[in-house]
Structure 1
C-alpha cells in the first residue's frame, strides 16, 4: 500500500522526515539536510542516518506485522559512504531481508539527488507482545 507523504511525530518530525511510501514491503523517506542535522564539521551527523534508517525499518516492519505485536529495534548497523550538506535532498529506501515469527531484518539505502549512495545499513527488529497505536493501523488502512 502506498501512502501520500506524511510527517512523523517525535524524532522523525524534528528531523523533517516525510514518508513518500509505506507498506509492509517497503518504506521510502525523503528529507532535506538542514543545520539541525550537522556535526561540527558541516556534514550530516552519522546518528541522523542511523535514526532515519531505524525509522524506515520500524515503520515498514510494523506495517508488515500489523496488530500481531509491536516491533522494537535491537541492532542498527550503518555505513557512511558519502558526505551530504545543507540543502541536499536525501531519499532512504527500506526493504526486507528476512521477516520471521520473532524478528525481522531490513536493509536501507540512502541516496542523494544524483542517485549516489550516501549511507547504507541494516536494522534488526524483535517482535514483542502488544498492539501498535490504532492511528497507525488506520493510516495503513487509508482511514
Structure 2
C-alpha cells in the first residue's frame, strides 16, 4: 500500500512527478493486479489512467473548481507480467474552461508501451472541501 489515498493506494501507485503539465505515476504488477487467469487486469490500467489524469487536471485547475472523469478510453497494447514496473505518464491534449483531455502512456521498465489512453475530465464549478485539499496536497507533497 502506498501513502496515496483511495484506489491508487490500494493498487500501490506512487507519484514520482506531479505538476500542471505532466504527472508520472508508477506501480509494480503484483498478485492484486491480476485477473482470474493470472495476467494483469486491464481495469488496473484504466483506473490508474483516470486517477493520474485527474491528479494532473486538478493541479492545473487549482482552486477554480474540481475535476471529475467523464470518459476513459484505454487500449491494451502488450501484456505485462508479474513483477513488471509500470510507469504511467499523463500529458495534456486540451485544457479549457469546462473540460480537459489528457493523453496517457503506460510503459514497462524497458520502455515498451503496455497501454495507451485518453481521459476526458469535466471542470466543475465547485469548491474542494478543505479536508480533501489537505489530504490531497499532503499525500502528493510526500513524493
TM-score in same-fold range (> 0.5) = yes
Offset of 1:138 from its aligned partner?
Answer: 6.3
Report the number of matched residues: 137
SS of structure 2 residue aligned to 1:25: coil
Q: Which runs of 5+ in 1 are unaligned?
A: 1-5
From 88, 96, 99, the counterpart of 1:92: 88
Question: CA 1:138/1:16 → structure 2, altered by over 3 Å: closer, same or farther?
Answer: closer
Offset of 1:139 from its aligned partner?
Answer: 6.6
User: Retained in 1: the 8 A contact 2:34–2:41?
Assistant: yes
Deviation above 6 Å: which 4+ runs of structure 1? 138-142
Q: Which has the higher helix share?
A: 2
Offset of 1:141 from its aligned partner?
Answer: 7.9
2: CA distance between counterparts of 1:83 and 1:45? Answer: 10
1: CA distance between counterparts of 2:80 and 2:140? Answer: 31
2: CA distance between counterparts of 1:138 and 1:13? Answer: 14
User: Retained in 1: the 8 A contact 2:3–2:139?
Assistant: no
Q: Which runs of 5+ in 2 are unaligned?
A: none
Offset of 1:137 from its aligned partner?
Answer: 4.8
Q: What does 1:1-143 correspond to in 2, within 5 Å?
A: 7-132=3-128, 133-135=132-134, 136-137=136-137
